[in-house]
Structure 1
Amino acid sequence: MVTKEVSILNLNEYRAEKQAQSEKCSLQLHSMAIDYVNRSVNIREKVRAKHIFRNKLGLPANQALLEQLDEIFLDWFLFDYKTIQRTTIFNLFIKEMAKDLKEYEMIQAALCISAVMEPFVVTGQQRKDLFILKSMVGEISNVRFSDNRKLSLHKGSALMLRKVHGLEYDFALGPTMIFASKEECERIKHAYNNMKETQSDLTWRAFLKLQALEILPPLKQWSVIKE
């Protein structure tokens, strides 16, 4: 006879296994998508994207991107930049790979697609790699960062990241931007409220997707932590 304690233990093991699977799968898809960018994306598309990126951030046209800017460009190029066909690079990658992906990988890909670069404030810490984050619309998330990220976060730290939903907790995907102060998060929320006055049906997530570059703080106000 299976006891209640054994059933709970089995459930916890199942959840932990699925959590690990989803994290591993997302990171693998992310890595494969970067390879796809380097290998298959048309050079004209890259040039067009970099022109838009530099223009939005007020950068000189011929200036090489610093490493931390290059990290943000690649993340934006994968998930937020719209190609001439009006889709994203990550969507094109998944479409090309669809016949080779298992069902759970397609599900995980959909979760990656739905993730947006979003500002948060740290409200607590559960363990070394697991933090409690509060969004600018009041949502609370437990978010895990991979062990090789050199994070120095504390209560009140402000950051911006793309997080993927998990069974036990969410997890960071791609670069994490550390803001100089949480006022930068408030500024982004203020920009959303202003835009919503003229677009009443605008959601927070849609705003973040559409204004991914426009809402970035001045370059001196943030740094990047990557995998």
Structure 2
Amino acid sequence: MDQKRTSFIVDFNELKKEKQRKSDQALMDVYGLLFTYVEKQANLREKIRAKHLFSHKIDFPRNQAFDQSLQLHFEHWFVFDYVTVIGSRIFDLFVRDYKNELSKPMLDLCGHLMLMTLEPVKVLKETRERLTVERKLTGDIEEVESFLITAEVSKGDFAFMRIVPAGFSHKIIGPVFIIDDSDVKRVEAQVNDAIDSTGKEVENVRVKRFLKEYGVDFMRYAKHR
């Protein structure tokens, strides 16, 4: 009986690992296709419009060039949150154009990526492999892992990050920014006001919509840009 139980557990763990490998690969494939799509399809005039709006939202000098870190923030905001002149998000257009070429695991991930927002978290613990964070919108405590871009945060930081479920794990998509210690209370108050305005339904569409539109604005209070 013990041998059978042990064998079952080993098999289950292997299945779990295999599913996670497939989810990780699907995320990598979506990411690669997405940014290739943006490079080829994004209109130059649209990019210029987006850069001006992004600079305004984070209170950055309009004619000053972005450094590498800020460029990464811009690119992820441009892809996932920015609304084009025709009223669509770049990622939504990508899914529409590629829906017949994406595998089921990739399409499932795309559904989560569409709903993903730049959300506030409190970092409770950090290790080399993952972070433990409190997601301020729900109060849930979760372990999250960096994906391609290392999240350089420390225990106690109040930060904003995009989190997406992938298999049995949660991945941090894109760069993270940390709120300056002197502005944490101000930002927490604004976030709490947004949550309280929706009542007890903290997963309400209005909160998601608020963060989709204004989440990046909190970057003006970031420690480093």
Please tell me whether the aligned partners of residues 26 and 112 of structure 1 are also in contact (alpha carbons under 8 angstroms): no
For the pair 1:60 / 2:67, whether they are aligned, the reply is: no
Match of 1:213 among 206, 213, 216: 216
- Show structure 2 runs of 5+ residues with no match: none
Per-residue CA distance 1:162-217 (angstroms, 9 max, x = gap): 11113322111111223443953x43331133345666566443321121232223
RMSD: 2.6
Q: Which residue of 2 is the match for residue 190 of structure 1?
A: 189
Structure-2 separation of matches of 1:124 and 1:218: 22
Please tell me whether the aligned partners of residues 119 and 160 of structure 1 are also in contact (alpha carbons under 8 angstroms): yes
Structure-1 separation of matches of 2:70 and 2:136: 24
For the pair 1:10 / 2:1, whether they are aligned, the reply is: no
Structure-2 separation of matches of 1:113 and 1:150: 21
Structure-2 separation of matches of 1:155 and 1:112: 26
Q: Which residue of 1 is the match for residue 113 of structure 2?
A: 112
- What is the DSSP-based 3-state SS (H/G/I as helix, E as strand, rest coil) of the residue aligned with 2:216? coil
Per-residue CA distance 1:133-184 (angstroms, 9 max, x = gap): 1122312111012487374x44313322111113322111111223443953
Q: Which amino acid aligns with 2:220?
A: P
> TM-score, normalised to structure 1's length?
0.83
Please tell me whether the aligned partners of residues 151 and 176 of structure 2 are also in contact (alpha carbons under 8 angstroms): no
Structure-2 separation of matches of 1:154 and 1:136: 17
Structure-2 separation of matches of 1:212 and 1:94: 23
Q: Which amino acid aligns with 2:187?
A: I
Q: Which residue of 2 is the match for residue 46 of structure 1?
A: 47
- What is the DSSP-based 3-state SS (H/G/I as helix, E as strand, rest coil) of the residue aligned with 2:99? helix
CA 1:20–1:183: 2 relative to 1, 3 Å: farther
- Show structure 1 runs of 5+ residues with no match: none
CA 1:133–1:197: 2 relative to 1, 3 Å: closer
Return the offset for 1:73: 0.9
Q: Which residue of 2 is the match for residue 162 of structure 1?
A: 162
For the pair 1:79 / 2:70, whether they are aligned, the reply is: no
What is the count of residue pairs matched by the alignment?
Answer: 219
Structure-1 separation of matches of 2:42 and 2:90: 8
Return the offset for 1:110: 1.2
For the pair 1:98 / 2:94, whether they are aligned, the reply is: no
Structure-2 separation of matches of 1:28 and 1:191: 36
- What is the DSSP-based 3-state SS (H/G/I as helix, E as strand, rest coil) of the residue aligned with 1:84? coil
Structure-2 separation of matches of 1:194 and 1:66: 33
Among all aligned residue pairs of Structure 1 and Structure 2, give the percentage whose two residues are the same amino acid.
25
> TM-score, normalised to structure 2's length?
0.84
Q: Which amino acid aligns with 1:65?
A: F
Per-residue CA distance 1:23-51 (angstroms, 9 max, x = gap): 22223312321222211111121122112
Equivalences for 1:113-132 in 2 at 5 Å? 113-125=114-126, 127-132=127-132
Return the offset for 1:62: 2.4
Structure-2 separation of matches of 1:69 and 1:100: 32
Please tell me whether the aligned partners of residues 147 and 173 of structure 2 are also in contact (alpha carbons under 8 angstroms): no
Per-residue CA distance 1:65-108 (angstroms, 9 max, x = gap): 22222111111100000112222101111111111111111111
Equivalences for 1:26-45 in 2 at 5 Å? 26-45=27-46
